[in-house]
Homo-oligomer: A and B are copies of this chain.
Amino acid sequence: MSGVDHDPLSFGAPVSHHVLENGLEVVIIPDHRSPVATHMVWYRNGSADDPQGQSGIAHFLEHLMFKGTEKHPQGAFSDLVTELGGEENAFTSMDYTAYYQRVAKEHLGRMMELESDRMQGLVLEDAVVLPERDVVLEERRMRTDSDPAAQLGESLAAALFAHHPYGTPIIGWMHEIEGLGREEALAYYRRFYTPDNAILVVAGDVEVEEVLALAQQTYGQIKASGHKPVRKRPQEPVLRGQKRITLADAKVEQPSWQRSYLVPSLRTAEKGVSEAIEVLMQVLAGGQSGYLHRKLVVEQQKAVAVGGWYHATTCDQTRLLVYAVPSEGVSLEAIEKAMEDTLADFAREGLDDKTLTRAKTRLIADAFYAQDSQTAMARMFGSALAIGAQVQEVLDWPAAIDAVTAEQVLAALKWLDHSKSVSGFLLKDEAA
- Enumerate chain A interface residues (CB-CB to B < 8 A): 52-53, 55, 148, 151-152, 154-156, 158-159, 162-163, 167-168, 173-176, 232-235, 237-247, 249, 424
Contacts and interface: CB of A to CB of B under 8 A. Distances in A.
B247 A244 contact: no
B237 A241 contact: no
Given A175-B237, A234-B176, A244-B243, A158 B152 contact: no
B244 A246 contact: yes
Given A242-B246, A244-B246, A247-B241, A168 B174 contact: no
Given A151-B240, A244-B245, 5 more contacts: A151-B241, A154-B239, A159-B243, A162-B167, A175-B235
Contacts of A175: 235, 237
A374 to B, nearest CB: 39
B173 A168 contact: no
A158 to B, nearest CB: 4
A76 to B, nearest CB: 37
A280 to B, nearest CB: 25
Contacts of A155: 162, 239-241, 243
Contacts of A239: 151, 154-155, 158
Nearest to A150: B240
6 contacts: A151-B241, A154-B237, A155-B162, A158-B237, A159-B243, A241-B424
A243 B241 contact: no
Nearest to A239: B155
B243 A243 contact: yes
A156 B244 CA distance: 11
Contacts of A163: 158, 167-168, 173
A151 B152 CA distance: 25
A238 B175 CA distance: 9
A154, A232, A245 interface centre (most CB from chain B within 10 Å): A245
Given A162-B162, A241-B245, A242-B247, A233 B53 contact: yes
B241 A246 contact: yes
A146 to B, nearest CB: 11
Contacts of A246: 241-242, 244
User: 5 closest pairs, A vs B, by CB?
Assistant: A173-B237, A158-B162, A241-B247, A155-B241, A241-B245
Contacts of A244: 243-246
A151 B242 CA distance: 12
A299 to B, nearest CB: 28
A148 B52 CA distance: 31
A154, A176, A239 interface centre (most CB from chain B within 10 Å): A239
A58 B129 CA distance: 38
B159 A237 contact: no
A162 B239 CA distance: 13
Nearest to A53: B234
Given A158-B162, A163-B158, A167-B162, A240 B232 contact: no
A154 B243 CA distance: 12
Contacts of A176: 234-235, 237
A257 to B, nearest CB: 13
Contacts of A154: 237, 239-240
A52, A158, A175, A238 interface centre (most CB from chain B within 10 Å): A158
A156, A163, A175 interface centre (most CB from chain B within 10 Å): A163
